[in-house]
Structure 1
Amino acid sequence: MLTPWDIDVMARTLYGEARGEPDEGKVAVAHVIRTRWLKGPLRTALAAVCLKPRQFSCWDDGNRAAMAVVDLESPQFLRCMAIAWGVIAGIIPDNTGGADHYLNPKALERLPAWYDPKKVTARHGAHEFLRLA
């Protein structure tokens, strides 16, 4: 069962991870969240997918403070909220090819062990989207 808290956390995750990206990048990140939620254990809350340690770096690093104070007065956050609702409702189609991971390879000193260029399904903005599972 979805709650307003779930959508708020998802929108804050989009804000923290992709606020500098075009809408297509925000949509892609939202679909990764949705894919992980749907593939996860039955009854896992959507918010729990976003807040799981070391899954979405915005919750692990300095972005967390900015995400905590943003509200619907921010046009960027309002857009993230609309995208979160649209993706969860199935109104906005998946533009990732079923990706369950993503990264910004240019922002990393070293690529993670799970990265496999043959599994890249899409590129939006600075992010590459991969289907690993």
Structure 2
Amino acid sequence: MLDPAEVAARTAWGEARGEGLSGMQAVLNAIGNRAAYPGWWGHGIAGVCLAPGQFSCWNVDDPNREKLISVDVADKVFLAALNLARRLCAAELPDLTTGADSYYAAGSRRPLWARDAFFKISIGRHRFYRVGLMGDGR
């Protein structure tokens, strides 16, 4: 069985290790917001992280993949991501994204799903959006 905190930490590290603690926390928040409302993007924290096509760092052809598989706690940034991910799994991680479940790198081409109506916040070099429905219909 996969440890959800470790999978989430590897995802946050692979996606945002250059974005500091707040950038990695924001990625973890998006993971947590997806896991809270399971659907096409996966079920549970590990399932959300590993769902095909959802987090590019896990793509077989992504150069980050081998790095995130082999990183360990000797890497201080990964250790920080792991500590944040443990807080996510314990439902103790504040949501910096105000409910975002999706994001993209600000310097890349804007995805079709990233409509202004869904924009939540920019954190570091990522723009965060709420694409899925929350339990209250927002």
User: Normalization by structure 1: what TM-score?
Assistant: 0.89
How far residue 38 of structure 1 moved from its aligned partner, in angstroms, is: 1.1
CA distance in 2, matches of 1:68, 1:91: 26
RMSD of aligned alpha carbons: 1.6
SS in 1 for 2:88: helix
Partner of 2:84: 83
Partner of 2:135: none
The residue type paired with residue 29 of structure 2 is H
Equivalence map 1:25-64=2 (5 Å) = 25-40=23-38, 44-60=43-59, 61-64=62-65
How far residue 88 of structure 1 moved from its aligned partner, in angstroms, is: 2.4
SS in 2 for 1:103: strand
Partner of 1:18: 16
CA distance in 1, matches of 2:101, 2:15: 15
**Structure 2 unpaired stretches of 5+:** 133-138
Q: Identity over the aligned pairs, expressed in percent?
A: 38
CA distance in 1, matches of 2:72, 2:20: 20
Aligned residues: 128
CA distance in 2, matches of 1:14, 1:127: 12
> Where do 4+ consecutive residues of structure 1 move more than 4 Å?
none
Partner of 1:129: 128
SS in 2 for 1:99: coil
**Structure 1 unpaired stretches of 5+:** none
